[in-house]
């Protein structure tokens, strides 16, 4: 049976419902307030009509939620008895026939300015070139205004959440190693710079991760939100979520410095007023290393050095060099905030760490310039230092070998508290070193980095630190790479979209084409993807 043709009234009804689908799409899929979306459509349409057709027009979109329809009015339509000129775009938008209006309201006179419903698709009937392109320009203008509103809402929602953790899904990887991601709760796109994700981390499109919001821009050509997967802030969050004493405010995190995928140093101390019997370091490591294992797992196996903070900078530096036992820390003469860190020759390389990471992190944590030298070099340079720990450290090396080994903490809270006292907790000259190696080893779970990067004793370590710092700074710099340079894309079953809605059809998708709409010019507004048949009167 042939399909019945639609009446003019049916087409008008369908167009109203199509407009509703467009506006409602922004509300449902983009989570934009409906009243603000309606306002944008009204303001932008008025602006373009004023510029191209009638400077006095005032176009308003009115939504009927009950009927799921949108009607479009011009508040400044002039009632006229003159014949309507279909070639004049102004007559289609800003004039109405007297007889048509008078049949509805007999009080209306010729020349009155009234509010009257209009059909924007009638613009396509005009031979005027400006009128024909008006709908397309309106479409573009509205899309731009919607993007501005979206950015405003994103900034309002997330600018106050810098430093907080959110869950994201990885969408696509860019050629420079950065990622395009999407915040799960809001479907808002974000950017993960290459410098804020470890190169060692195995990441694939479709994976979910907890990230920290680092920066939110009010204006940005790409993503407004910058997040980090391997920022020190992640460590703060992991510690607060997994260590009750930190969550309750009994233990304070003084500082966190990190080389993602390799090592993290965390400085802690007891909070003011906390029970002095609490061992700040031991509480984080846990009995038998249970807590530190969980923390390390949440950081993809990254090594974590828990450092006890000390007001005495020399003790603090020695603690920060963990897990390497330090012989002494000596201020450099006439050089502010610079120190020699003296270790036995066998520990020189592991003290520096692979690529200088161990000392660089210790330097950042203590905010001091550190020069790692051996006892042999210190003596050769005439540096005066406390040699009392050399024998105990040397004895430990003879028993355990040159590689620093670690044991899990004792399975006893009292023992943990005792062992938690760092060798520098009293003074450099009054230390019980009889069980030095056990005391130092008790709180460390993982082995020191393999000594596969060797350094000569006479290396200028300050130069090495400057070089490494430069490399780290270079890695952190965000390349200006377009998010369009996609190396990998999410799997098809990943339902979270990464693209902005550029046109109205992207918020009214999954509808079947209705060919009749093109006759009314609404294909310019991407309404062609909506099936108007479902709205026809049965």
Same domain, 378 and 420: yes
Confidence class of residue 196 from pLDDT cuts 50, 70 and 90? confident
Look up residue 224 and give its DSSP letter: S
- For the chain, the average pLDDT equals 77
Instruction: Give the residue-averaged pLDDT of 345-351.
Output: 94
Helix (H, G, I), strand (E, B) or coil at 21: helix
Q: Is the model's pTM score more than 0.75?
A: no
Share of the chain above pLDDT 90, in %: 47
Q: What pLDDT, in 10s, does the model give residues 175-194?
A: 999 999 999 998 899 999 98
Query: Is 523's pLDDT higher than 80?
Result: no
Same domain, 202 and 141: no
> Alpha-carbon distance 388 to 393, whole Å?
10
Same domain, 362 and 273: yes
Residue 465 lies in a domain: yes
Confidence class of residue 431 from pLDDT cuts 50, 70 and 90? very low
Same domain, 116 and 219: no
> Alpha-carbon distance 481 to 425, whole Å?
50
Residue 386 lies in a domain: yes
- Residue 32: C-alpha distances to residues 24, 25, 159, 354 (Å): 9, 9, 17, 50
Confidence class of residue 483 from pLDDT cuts 50, 70 and 90? very low
pLDDT number for residue 6: 45
Instruction: Give the residue-averaged pLDDT of 101-125.
Output: 88
Confidence class of residue 27 from pLDDT cuts 50, 70 and 90? confident
Q: What pLDDT, in 10s, does the model give residues 355-405?
A: 899 999 999 999 999 999 999 999 999 999 999 999 999 998 888 765 554
Same domain, 217 and 355: no
Instruction: Give the residue-averaged pLDDT of 104-126.
Output: 87
Query: Is 473's pLDDT higher than 90?
Result: no
- Among 53-57, 306-310, 504-508, where is mean pLDDT lowest? 504-508
> Alpha-carbon distance 327 to 443, whole Å?
19
Least Cα distance to 364 among 422, 298, 425, 316 occurs for 316
CB 431 within 8 A of CB 387: no
Confidence class of residue 532 from pLDDT cuts 50, 70 and 90? very low
Query: Is 430's pLDDT higher than 50?
Result: no
pLDDT number for residue 30: 78
> Alpha-carbon distance 333 to 252, whole Å?
33
pLDDT number for residue 87: 67
pLDDT number for residue 404: 53
Residue 47 lies in a domain: yes
Taking CB atoms within 8 Å and a gap of at least 24, the contacts of 275-280 are 275/250, 277/417, 278/245, 278/250, 278/251, 279/416, 279/417, 279/420, 280/245, 280/251, 280/308, 280/420
pLDDT number for residue 90: 84
CB 63 within 8 A of CB 20: yes
Strand residues in 189-320 grouped as ranges (E): 189-192, 208-216, 225-228, 251-259, 263-270, 303-308
Residue 493 lies in a domain: no
pLDDT number for residue 78: 94
Query: Is 520's pLDDT higher than 50?
Result: no
Q: Tokens 């509010």 correspond to what residue?
A: 115
Same domain, 212 and 247: no
CATH number at residue 483: 2.40.50.140
pLDDT number for residue 332: 95
Same domain, 330 and 190: no
Instruction: Give the residue-averaged pLDDT of 501-529.
Output: 38
More confident position, 195 or 141 = 141
Query: Is 508's pLDDT higher than 50?
Result: no
Domain of 198, in residue numbers? 159-229+477-488
pLDDT number for residue 9: 52
Same domain, 147 and 163: no
Query: Is 121's pLDDT higher than 90?
Result: no
Residue 38 lies in a domain: yes
Confidence class of residue 13 from pLDDT cuts 50, 70 and 90? low
pLDDT number for residue 195: 81
Residue 298 lies in a domain: yes
pLDDT number for residue 429: 36
Which residues are paired to 343 by β-bridges?
374
Residue 196 lies in a domain: yes
- Among 6-10, 181-185, 211-215, 229-233, where is mean pLDDT lowest? 6-10
**Overall number of domains in the chain:** 3
pLDDT number for residue 114: 94
More confident position, 468 or 73 = 73
Query: Is 443's pLDDT higher than 60?
Result: no
Same domain, 284 and 343: yes
Same domain, 140 and 164: no
More confident position, 503 or 116 = 116
pLDDT number for residue 86: 65
Query: Is 238's pLDDT higher than 60?
Result: yes
Same domain, 249 and 322: yes
SS (H, E, C) 435-502: CHHHHHHCCCCCCCCCCCCCCCCCCCHHHHHHHHHHHHHHHHCCCCCCCCCEEECCCCCCCCCCCCCC
Same domain, 243 and 221: no
Q: What is the DSSP string of 381-415?
A: TT-----TTHHHHHHHHHHH-SS----PPPS-HHH
Residue 496 lies in a domain: no
């Amino acid at each position: 049976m042939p399909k019945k043709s639609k009446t003019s009234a049916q087409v008008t009804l369908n167009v109203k419902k199509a407009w509703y689908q467009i506006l409602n799409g922004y509300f449902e899929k983009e989570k934009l307030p409906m009243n603000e979306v309606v306002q944008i459509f009204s303001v932008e349409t008025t602006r373009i009509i004023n510029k191209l057709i009638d400077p006095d027009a005032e176009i308003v979109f009115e939504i009927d939620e009950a009927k799921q329809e949108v009607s479009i009015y011009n508040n400044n339509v002039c009632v006229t008895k003159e014949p309507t000129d279909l070639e004049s775009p102004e007559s289609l938008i800003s004039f109405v026939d007297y007889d048509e209006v008078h049949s509805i309201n007999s009080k209306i006179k010729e020349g009155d300015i009234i509010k009257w419903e209009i059909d924007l698709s009638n613009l396509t009937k005009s031979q005027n070139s400006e009128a024909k392109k008006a709908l397309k320009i309106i479409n573009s203008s509205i899309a731009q205004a919607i993007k501005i509103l979206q950015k405003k809402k994103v900034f309002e929602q997330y600018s106050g959440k810098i430093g907080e953790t959110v869950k994201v899904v990885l969408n696509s990887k860019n050629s420079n190693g950065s990622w395009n991601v999407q915040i799960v709760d809001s479907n808002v796109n974000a950017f993960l710079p290459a410098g804020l994700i470890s190169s060692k981390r195995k990441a694939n499109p479709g994976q979910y991760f907890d990230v920290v919001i680092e920066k939110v821009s009010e204006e940005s050509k790409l993503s407004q939100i910058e997040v980090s997967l391997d920022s020190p802030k992640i460590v703060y969050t992991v510690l607060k979520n997994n260590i009750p004493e930190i969550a309750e405010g009994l233990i304070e995190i003084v500082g966190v410095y990190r080389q993602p995928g390799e090592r993290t140093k965390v400085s802690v101390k007891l909070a003011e007023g906390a029970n002095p019997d609490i061992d700040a370091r031991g509480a984080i490591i846990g009995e038998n290393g249970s807590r530190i294992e969980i923390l390390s797992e949440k950081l993809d196996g990254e090594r974590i050095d828990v450092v006890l903070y000390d007001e005495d900078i020399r003790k603090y530096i020695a603690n920060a060099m963990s897990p390497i036992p330090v012989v002494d820390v000596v201020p450099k003469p006439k050089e502010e905030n610079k120190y020699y860190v003296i270790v036995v020759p066998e520990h020189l390389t592991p003290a520096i760490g692979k690529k200088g990471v161990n000392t660089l992190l210790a330097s950042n944590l203590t905010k001091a310039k550190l020069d790692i030298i051996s006892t042999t070099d210190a003596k050769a340079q005439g540096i005066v230092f406390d040699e009392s720990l050399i024998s105990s450290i040397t004895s430990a090396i003879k028993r355990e070998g040159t590689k620093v080994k670690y044991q899990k903490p004792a399975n006893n809270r009292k023992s943990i508290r005792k062992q938690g006292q760092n060798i520098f907790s009293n003074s450099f000259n009054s230390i019980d070193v009889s069980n030095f190696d056990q005391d130092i080893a008790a709180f460390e779970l993982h082995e020191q980095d393999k000594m596969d990067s060797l350094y000569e004793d006479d290396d200028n370590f300050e130069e090495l630190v400057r070089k490494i710092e430069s490399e780290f700074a270079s890695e952190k710099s965000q390349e200006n790479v377009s998010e369009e340079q996609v190396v990998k894309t999410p799997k098809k079953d990943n339902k979270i979209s990464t693209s902005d809605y550029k046109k109205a059809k992207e918020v009214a998708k999954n509808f079947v084409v209705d060919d009749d709409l093109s006759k009314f010019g609404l294909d310019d507004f991407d309404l062609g993807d909506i099936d108007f048949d479902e709205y026809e009167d049965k």
